[in-house]
A and B are shown apart, each in its own frame.
Chain A
Amino acid sequence: MTRSETRPRAGSLPDRRGYFGEFGGRYVPETLMAALDEFEAAYRNLRRDRAFQSELDDVLRDFVGRPTALTEAKRFAEACGGMRLFLKREDLNHTGAHKINNAIGQALIAKRMGKQRIIAETGAGQHGVATATACALLGLDCVVYMGEVDMARQELNVFRMRLLGAEVVPVSSGSRTLKDAINEAIRDWVTNVRTTHYIIGSVLGPHPYPLVVRDFQSVIGREALGQLKKRTGAVPDVAVACVGGGSNAIGLFYEMLQHDSIRFIGVEAGGRGPALGQHAARFSGGALGVLHGTRSMVLQDEFGQIAETHSISAGLDYPSIGPEHAYLQQIGRIEYYDCSDDLALEAFHKLSELEGIIPALESSHALGWLLRNGASIGREKIVVVNLSGRGDKDVPQIAALEMTR
């Protein structure tokens, strides 16, 4: 097959059953199936509903602050070996990350479905803050599940969620990180499914979540294409984003996938090294599996028990990856690499010092890959990196880390 034959057309996937090739689907207890059907039906209607779309556009413009800026990063580009480098500034969104694009969209759907109670999981806290913010704006009740380990390393976000009126529930089971927060959110949902909508924060989970979250995040790439065209007269040569669940990456890449000339790079968390448990690099270390309602690449042991993961960045610390990423990797459309904790930290400092932008540790992984591999790209090339969030939330953690070094 040639690339043009395998290239997914915008909107062609997932199929009706929620699959991207062999990935995706809907693997949940029976109790949730009706709620997923209801959510899917509501979304399919609202996707074509002008009033809904214009309400969403208004909130994105007047509340979130879209469109976000596209910033050329000349000094950092030199440090990477030289290129025309643009940063898509999702850090400038209200609440400081791309997560708000999806949280607002889903909260608006929940409201239309008559669900007054919202639950969410959060790793780094950005999705929790975004959801708490959307709920405050729309007058919805909000409960956020967060692993105890993540609560400790993202204390500030815990406080922010509480300021916004959300209840933050500590999760003490398993690895006490994002994976366990999702388990607990699903258990809540199974129990309160009739009154509650679960706002999943990434392109994960059972169908239709990977589709819905992708659609709400694809505003990132749509804006970036327009802005790049205006500034450079061209589409980018390379697009780079970090990949935890993969929502900021899909958000940047999705509208660009129709351009065959663009090279896509997804950067996973390389953590401390390649041993199972020390990283969150699903493509190099994972196997086909089912976790949290979707079939994808999953870090697991030989008996199918889900592995613990490690990343310096809470938002990338997750053993599975969005099913659409698994598909795009399989057909060779996106290349995936990983970036270690140390390299991400180096990039975190470099961008701060050279550009006056403190990036989130998650986004620092994308920058870290570029720092190490930029020289092979070419000076004349146009590169766009999704700066998915700002690093303010990470400053206390970095300060503590460097005090002990």
Chain B
Amino acid sequence: MNRVRKLFTRLRAGHRCGLIAYVTCGDGPTVEIVHALEDAGADAIELGVPFSDPIADGPVIQMAAQRALKNGTNIGDVFAIADEVRTRSDIPLIAFSYLNPVLRYGVDRFADDAATAGIDSVLLTDLPTEAAAEVRPSFRKRGLGSIFLLAPTSSDARIAAVNRVSDDFIYYVSTTGVTGTRNELDPTLLTRLDEVRARVTKPLAVGFGISQHVHYELLRDHCDAIVVGSAIVRAVASGDAAGAPGRAAAVVKTILDRDAPAPLLSPAT
């Protein structure tokens, strides 16, 4: 059982909603940021592989990818980051990428190097379940989990298909749209989440637009984990490199902090 699956078993046993933190590799001091996120309470890390044409990402992560590519970051650097994190930490690591960099690197070679670097699971944003067979057998051979997405528009048949092939958990996209922070969650999200949860057997993580403590409070009884991305990436970018780990950690602490003031949220309709 890989670290991601163990985490979700632990979360369920403890009746706790976890927090998965996303970072764009190569945008700022990624290894230090990962350690700071873990110390602040993140349960798992998504390591974003920068890509030139990130169609599922909003401006914050787009710009982070551009900065990382400008810094010369490539897939090899992502493995080096994972490798270095592993010298000090056992935190579950999920590689988060678009399909093309993986295809170009070679699926088998990617699986070998990701597993060797201590990565646990892989999520490819633009790989639907129909094409799962292109990567999953190779990932599985190296003990890597394949993670698939569900969305508000997913049909019941698609929910069933994702539940079949998504290995360690299912990533539920909270709203129709790209990544990025939003003040208000989709008003139909909680109802929809309960609907989806009733149809799946795998753990469910919810991402896209989640950036505030109140979001966490609302979601914690409806899913196994939340994913926080753009809020962290924005914090990393909003100052000097030396302060980036501290700023990223502060985002996680604020979201998990029960005593933080709750911003207004429109009631579910």
Interface residues of A (CB under 8 A from B): 17, 25-35, 37, 173-174, 179-180, 183, 186-187, 190-194, 287-293, 298, 300, 302-306
Question: Are A293 and B126 interface neighbours, CB within 8 A?
Answer: yes
Q: How many residues belonging to B are interface residues under a CB distance threshold of 8 Å? A: 40
Bound complex: CA of A374 vs CA of B39, how far in Å?
70
Chain A residues near B99: list those with CB within 8 A: 27, 290
Partner of A27 from B51, B62, B128 at Cβ < 8 Å? B128
Most interface-central of A31, A291, A300 (chain B CB within 10 A): A31
Query: Can you list 29 contacts pairing A with B, beta carbon distance less than 8 Å?
Result: A27-B131, A29-B56, A29-B125, A30-B128, A30-B149, A30-B150, A30-B158, A31-B173, A34-B151, A34-B153, A174-B52, A180-B53, A183-B53, A183-B54, A186-B55, A187-B55, A190-B176, A191-B176, A191-B177, A191-B178, A287-B104, A288-B103, A290-B103, A291-B100, A300-B100, A304-B100, A304-B104, A306-B52, A306-B53
Partner of A33 from B55, B56, B105, B128 at Cβ < 8 Å? B128
- Given the interface pairs A292-B55, A306-B100, the reply to whether A31 lies near B153 with Cβ below 8 Å is yes
Bound complex: CA of A332 vs CA of B53, how far in Å?
31
Question: Are A305 and B69 interface neighbours, CB within 8 A?
Answer: yes
Question: Are B101 and A303 interface neighbours, CB within 8 A?
Answer: yes
Partner of A30 from B58, B102, B104, B173 at Cβ < 8 Å? B173
Question: Are B152 and A291 interface neighbours, CB within 8 A?
Answer: no
Interface residues of B (CB under 8 A from A): 51-56, 58, 62, 66, 69, 74-75, 98-105, 125-128, 130-131, 148-155, 158, 162, 173, 176-178
Bound complex: CA of A193 vs CA of B154, how far in Å?
12
Question: Are A290 and B100 interface neighbours, CB within 8 A?
Answer: yes
Question: Are B131 and A193 interface neighbours, CB within 8 A?
Answer: no
Chain A residues near B101: list those with CB within 8 A: 303-305
Closest A residue to B104 using CB positions: A304
Question: Are B103 and A28 interface neighbours, CB within 8 A?
Answer: no
Chain B residues near A35: list those with CB within 8 A: 153
State the Cβ distance, B114 to closest chain A Cβ, in Å.
15
Bound complex: CA of A302 vs CA of B131, how far in Å?
23
Bound complex: CA of A194 vs CA of B153, how far in Å?
8
State the Cβ distance, A358 to closest chain B Cβ, in Å.
34
Bound complex: CA of A25 vs CA of B131, how far in Å?
9
Question: Are A192 and B176 interface neighbours, CB within 8 A?
Answer: yes
State the Cβ distance, A185 to closest chain B Cβ, in Å.
9
Closest B residue to A29 using CB positions: B56
Bound complex: CA of A393 vs CA of B31, how far in Å?
51
State the Cβ distance, A170 to closest chain B Cβ, in Å.
14
Chain B residues near A193: list those with CB within 8 A: 153, 176
Chain A residues near B153: list those with CB within 8 A: 30-35, 193-194
State the Cβ distance, A37 to closest chain B Cβ, in Å.
8
Bound complex: CA of A363 vs CA of B227, how far in Å?
49
Partner of A183 from B55, B150, B154 at Cβ < 8 Å? B55
Bound complex: CA of A186 vs CA of B125, how far in Å?
13
Closest B residue to A192 using CB positions: B176
State the Cβ distance, B41 to closest chain A Cβ, in Å.
28
Chain A residues near B105: list those with CB within 8 A: 303-304
- Given the interface pairs A30-B154, A35-B153, A290-B100, the reply to whether A303 lies near B75 with Cβ below 8 Å is yes
State the Cβ distance, B58 to closest chain A Cβ, in Å.
8
Chain B residues near A187: list those with CB within 8 A: 55-56, 58, 178
Bound complex: CA of A136 vs CA of B58, how far in Å?
30
- Given the interface pairs A26-B128, A194-B153, the reply to whether A289 lies near B55 with Cβ below 8 Å is no
Chain B residues near A194: list those with CB within 8 A: 153, 176
Question: Are B125 and A305 interface neighbours, CB within 8 A?
Answer: no
Chain B residues near A303: list those with CB within 8 A: 74-75, 101, 104-105
Partner of A302 from B104, B149, B151, B173 at Cβ < 8 Å? B104
Chain A residues near B148: list those with CB within 8 A: 30
The 4 closest A-B pairs by CB, nearest first: A304-B104, A304-B101, A31-B151, A303-B74
Question: Are A190 and B178 interface neighbours, CB within 8 A?
Answer: yes
Bound complex: CA of A183 vs CA of B173, how far in Å?
19
Closest A residue to B101 using CB positions: A304
Chain B residues near A190: list those with CB within 8 A: 55-56, 176-178
Bound complex: CA of A17 vs CA of B133, how far in Å?
14
- Given the interface pairs A31-B151, A194-B153, the reply to whether A26 lies near B53 with Cβ below 8 Å is no
Closest A residue to B59 using CB positions: A173
